[in-house]
């Protein structure tokens, strides 16, 4: 029985890596175009912006929380960015507005969940609906075609925005570099700071953390603030990437984020996982999509396959956790 | 040497007890868990806190440790009132508690659990190497072997988990007062013996201990004084050498 426990432990700990390797091998065999540098760039480029939201989401999940409002935060800040740019605003203003808005949203989420003691799914669902409504009021359902607006004022599309959204640093797209930089910062925070350690503690056993003197409410609020901050930043980067704001921006930014974070091994039961796990998860999702396209599989196969992986990973995790608390 | 007797004499108001509990009351949605409990404590004392289930022992200790706030009454540690200090604040004053359920984070490893809330940092970054080293030293001091520190504590045996929970006591400043809630529950004979030895050693190091236990044998082996709670009230406080087990049980059950 102990042996089985150890086996489960190893599988649970490394399931994401195993999945990644297995998938890579399969796709290499299925398609000659898979194992090329250009393809790797493609794989990493697609999730570059959404990956940043995933990092923020990781903080919340480790703390055993949940945030359904991330997509609407990205959408709102994407709109803000487009608005600011088309009104000839600068880089600093746009970024500060997005980060500020994101942090505010995160703060409200955090306070509602911790002080009002409302379940995080319900609270952030409410926030999501509120933000969607706010966005509707602000946009009036219209899109912002930045190029057109600027041209009508005889202004040029800002070079720095073009560089961020579509430029490259060496052979690597700027967005991928930004993603990597944020990933490293988040990794250091989670693994090497006291705050990061406390996020894990709060997620693993909140009452034990409280009894050890950790301000659990504050830690949880901060995870939501970080998630909001990164979602806000992602909204800015999204507009930079797409160079327009449409009401469909960030439409698909909730389910894939949850998918990537959980597939990567960060358990929704809190206290485990991390940024590297999330990177692996994001790459797995991008890999599956890329690989299935290369091998000519129909689109729905991606969803089916990812759904199966999701259920398996969550299943193993829940089973493992149950074994722990049972034994 | 009877430390027990002298602690019954009220001190002059300029001096302060290590711990003074005055008329503490606590309700939980209409259930009166504590109804005006008072006692005081000095250095190098071991008090055994006994009572039947639901008597209020754990509640009282959790109020002293800062986990709960009393509805009324005063708790003072070395003269300082601890009205609204949380667990962290009370720990700063030198009071540490080991809880009945051990308060461990099951999926995290040994050093993370031992240093919970008291992590060591170097220039703002966690000093894992130092924490691992101190963890090994503490386990050695408790005469417990754990082969790999990196495994989740849920993999450890009951005795090893107890060692981790107790090991927390040795992190940071030495405590002045230790609260142990059923520390021998679930431990075998040898491990219980080790724990009682530890209590005696700590007492020699001028650390006071309040011990909650259902095991009167253990209490009678290490305690100087015994306090009996029943239905949230203190129904007896005697020196251990002046009372028999039978009398203690009678007080616990209310058979007079």
In terms of C-beta density within 10 A (0-12 exposed, 13-18 middle, 19 or more buried), how is residue A4 classed? exposed
Mean pLDDT of chain B: 88
Q: What is the mean pLDDT of residues A230-236?
A: 96
* CA of A100 vs chain B CAs: smallest distance (Å): 26
Q: Is the pLDDT of residue A55 over 60?
A: yes
Q: Is the pLDDT of residue B3 over 50?
A: no
For residue A126, being part of any structural domain is answered with yes
Helices (H), chain A: 2-30, 37-45, 48-62, 70-86, 91-114, 120-139, 146-152, 159-166, 174-192, 194-204, 206-211, 216-242, 255-263, 275-294, 299-326
How many Å apart are CA B37 and CA B229, to the nearest integer? 9
Q: What is the mean pLDDT of residues A84-108?
A: 93
The answer to whether B161 faces chain A, any CB pair under 8 Å, is: no
Q: How far, in whole angstroms, is CA A191 from its chain's centroid?
A: 18
Say yes or no for a CB contact (<8 Å) between B88 and A204.
no
Q: What are B169-181's pLDDT values in tens digits?
A: 999 888 999 999 9
The answer to whether residues A150 and A252 touch, using CB atoms and an 8 Å cutoff, is: no
Q: What is the mean pLDDT of residues A29-34?
A: 78
For residue A325, being part of any structural domain is answered with no
* CA of B153 vs chain A CAs: smallest distance (Å): 10
Q: How confident is the model at residue A73 (pLDDT cuts 50, 70, 90)?
A: very high
For residue A300, being part of any structural domain is answered with no
Residue A326 confidence (pLDDT): 62
Residue A51 confidence (pLDDT): 94
Residue A41 confidence (pLDDT): 79
**What residues of B are in contact with residue A212 (Cβ under 8 Å)?**
87-88, 103, 116-118, 168
Residue B11 confidence (pLDDT): 56
Q: How confident is the model at residue B161 (pLDDT cuts 50, 70, 90)?
A: very high
Say yes or no for a CB contact (<8 Å) between B97 and A211.
yes
Mean pLDDT check: name the lowest of A13-22, A137-146, A271-280, B8-17: B8-17
Mean pLDDT of chain A: 89
Q: How confident is the model at residue A116 (pLDDT cuts 50, 70, 90)?
A: very high
Say yes or no for a CB contact (<8 Å) between A211 and B118.
no
For residue A25, being part of any structural domain is answered with no
Q: What is the mean pLDDT of residues B7-21?
A: 65
Residue B13 confidence (pLDDT): 53
Q: Is the pLDDT of residue B155 over 50?
A: yes
* CA of B154 vs chain A CAs: smallest distance (Å): 6
Q: How confident is the model at residue A104 (pLDDT cuts 50, 70, 90)?
A: very high
Q: In terms of CA atoms, which chain A residue is nearest residue B118? A: A212
Residue A257 confidence (pLDDT): 93
A 177-236 residues inside an 8 A Cβ radius of B: 191-194, 197-198, 200-201, 204-205, 207-215
Q: Is the pLDDT of residue A2 over 80?
A: no
Say yes or no for a CB contact (<8 Å) between A201 and B105.
yes
The answer to whether A175 faces chain B, any CB pair under 8 Å, is: no
- Residue to substitute from B154, B167, B168, B172, interface A, most A β-carbons within 10 A: B154
How many CB pairs lie under 8 A apart between chains A and B?
80
Structure tokens at A165: 């959204």
Q: Is the pLDDT of residue A131 over 50?
A: yes
Q: Is the pLDDT of residue B5 over 50?
A: no
ipTM: 0.89
* CA of B13 vs chain A CAs: smallest distance (Å): 31
For residue A311, being part of any structural domain is answered with no
**What residues of A are in contact with residue B99 (Cβ under 8 Å)?**
211
The answer to whether B121 faces chain A, any CB pair under 8 Å, is: yes
For residue A312, being part of any structural domain is answered with no
For residue B18, which phi and psi values (nearest 5 degrees)?
Answer: -65, -50
Q: In which domain, by residue range, is A143 found?
A: 38-250
> B255 Cβ partners below 8 Å, 6+ apart?
none
Q: Is the pLDDT of residue A144 over 60?
A: yes
Q: What are B37-85's pLDDT values in tens digits?
A: 999 998 889 999 999 888 899 999 999 999 999 999 999 998 888 878 8
For residue A219, being part of any structural domain is answered with yes
Q: What is the mean pLDDT of residues A54-83?
A: 95
The answer to whether B112 faces chain A, any CB pair under 8 Å, is: yes
Say yes or no for a CB contact (<8 Å) between B87 and A211.
yes
Q: What is the mean pLDDT of residues A69-87?
A: 93
Provide the number of structural domains found in chain A: 1
Out of A192, A205, A208, the one facing B126 most closely (by C-beta) is: A192
For residue A151, being part of any structural domain is answered with yes
């Amino acid at each position: 029985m102990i042996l089985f426990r150890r086996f489960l432990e190893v599988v649970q700990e490394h399931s994401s890596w195993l999945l990644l390797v297995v998938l890579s091998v399969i796709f290499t065999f299925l398609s000659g175009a898979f194992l090329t540098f250009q393809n790797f760039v493609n794989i990493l480029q697609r999730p570059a912006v959404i990956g940043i939201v995933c990092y923020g989401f990781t903080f919340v999940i480790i703390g055993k929380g949940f945030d359904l409002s991330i997509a609407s935060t990205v959408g709102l800040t994407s709109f803000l960015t487009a608005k600011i740019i088309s009104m000839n605003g600068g880089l600093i203003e746009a970024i500060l507005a997005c980060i500020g808005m994101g942090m505010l949203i995160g703060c409200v989420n955090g306070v509602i969940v911790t002080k009002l003691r409302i379940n995080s799914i319900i609270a952030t669902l409410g926030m999501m609906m509120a933000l969607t409504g706010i966005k509707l009021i602000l946009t009036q359902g219209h899109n912002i075609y930045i190029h057109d607006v600027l041209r009508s004022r005889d202004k040029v599309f800002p070079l720095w925005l073009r560089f961020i959204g579509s430029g490259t640093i060496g052979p690597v797209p700027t967005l991928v570099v930004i993603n990597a930089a944020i990933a490293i910062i988040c990794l250091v925070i989670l693994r090497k700071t006291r705050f990061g350690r406390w996020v894990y503690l709060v997620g693993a056993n909140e009452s034990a953390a409280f009894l050890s003197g950790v301000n659990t409410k504050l830690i949880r609020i901060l995870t939501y603030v970080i998630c909001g901050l990164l979602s806000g930043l992602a909204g800015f980067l999204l507009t930079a990437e797409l160079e327009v704001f449409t009401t469909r921006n960030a439409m698909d930014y909730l389910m894939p984020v949850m998918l990537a974070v959980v597939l990567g091994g960060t358990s929704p039961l809190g206290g485990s996982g991390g940024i590297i796990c999330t990177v692996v998860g994001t790459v797995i999702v991008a890999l599956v999509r890329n690989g299935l396209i290369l091998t000519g599989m129909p689109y729905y196969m991606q969803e089916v396959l990812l759904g199966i992986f999701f259920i398996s990973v969550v299943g193993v995790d829940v089973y493992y956790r149950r074994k722990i608390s049972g034994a | 040497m009877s430390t027990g007797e002298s602690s019954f004499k009220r001190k002059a108001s300029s001096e302060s007890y290590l711990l003074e509990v005055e008329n503490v009351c606590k309700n939980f949605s209409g259930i009166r868990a504590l109804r005006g409990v008072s006692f005081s404590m000095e250095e190098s004392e071991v008090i055994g806190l006994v009572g039947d289930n639901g008597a209020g022992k754990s509640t009282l200790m959790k109020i002293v440790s800062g986990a709960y706030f009393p509805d009324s009454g005063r708790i003072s540690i070395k003269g300082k009132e601890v009205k609204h200090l949380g667990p962290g604040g009370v720990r700063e004053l030198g009071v540490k508690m080991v809880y009945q359920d051990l308060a461990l984070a099951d999926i995290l490893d040994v050093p993370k659990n031992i240093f919970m809330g008291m992590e060591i940092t170097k220039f703002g970054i966690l000093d894992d190497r130092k924490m691992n080293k101190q963890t090994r030293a503490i386990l050695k001091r408790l005469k417990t072997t754990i082969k790999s520190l990196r495994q989740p504590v849920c993999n450890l045996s009951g005795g090893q988990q107890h060692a981790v929970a107790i090991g927390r006591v040795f992190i940071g400043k030495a405590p002045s007062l230790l609260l142990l809630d059923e520390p021998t529950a679930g431990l075998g004979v040898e491990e219980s013996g080790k724990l009682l030895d530890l209590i005696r050693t700590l007492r020699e190091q001028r650390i006071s201990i309040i011990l909650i236990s259902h095991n009167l044998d253990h209490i009678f082996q290490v305690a100087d004084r015994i306090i009996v709670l029943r239905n949230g009230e203190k129904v007896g406080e005697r020196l251990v050498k002046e009372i028999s087990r039978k009398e203690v049980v009678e007080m616990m059950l209310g058979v007079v």
